[in-house]
Homo-oligomer: A and B are copies of this chain.
Amino acid sequence: MPKKVDHEERRREIAAAVLRLVATRGVEAASLRAVAGEAGVSMGAVQHYFTTRDEMLRFALAHNNTLLAERGARLLAERQPATPRETFRLFCDLLLPFDEDSRTAARLWAGLISRACVNEPTRELAAAAYTGLTDFVVRQLSGALPDADAGRAARHLVSVIEGLRWPVLFGVYTRAQAMGILDDQFELIFRPARAR
């Protein structure tokens, strides 16, 4: 019938435009027209791929989560961390807004959170993102710790990292200060079991 177009690929392209807008000017700025302009297509095209603005935003934020997961897996594969501590540092670099990439990701995360507060499907998305991240960390830790401790350690580490995201993004902590807090945390958690 008509032209053959990779539907999902086009959606992802438009989603990328959404993410650029959300990261630089906030969720409110991601209007249909602005997105169309940013993506270099007509507004009709955006409407063709997303029935509603809400669906567009939800897809974009979900897409961003899979991008982040891929980035984490890639980092893990290429840096091959040998010790739990190296793995941990890798996650810090991935999740905390130290460089421009992760600062962008943090701003997107902020958009996700603010929408999740008032939009049920987005809330489910955010909840899934948190559980997914924690599970991922559990799996990374499961070699280095007994299973029972791995779960606990993962929840600890994820909590502290998450708790540092906004202070770091807003300039309350420098990278060195944040890493200091995280190092302390790491020491505490990975102290030999007998000392606990």
Contacts and interface: CB of A to CB of B under 8 A. Distances in A.
Contacts of A188: 188-189
B127 A156 contact: no
Contact of A130 (B24, B114, B123, B170): B170
16 contacts: A24-B118, A106-B117, A110-B113, A111-B117, A116-B170, A123-B170, A127-B167, A127-B170, A130-B166, A130-B172, A152-B181, A156-B181, A156-B184, A156-B185, A159-B159, A162-B167
**Residues of A contacting B: mostly:** helix
Interface in A142-190: 152, 155-156, 158-164, 166-167, 169-172, 181, 184-185, 188-189
Interface of A: 24-29, 106-107, 110-111, 113-118, 123, 126-127, 130-131, 152, 155-156, 158-164, 166-167, 169-172, 181, 184-185, 188-189, 195
Q: What copy number does this chain have within its complex?
A: 2
B114 A114 contact: yes
Most B CB contacts (10 A, CB to CB) among A29, A162, A171 go to A162
Given A127-B172, A162-B166, A172-B131, A114 B116 contact: no
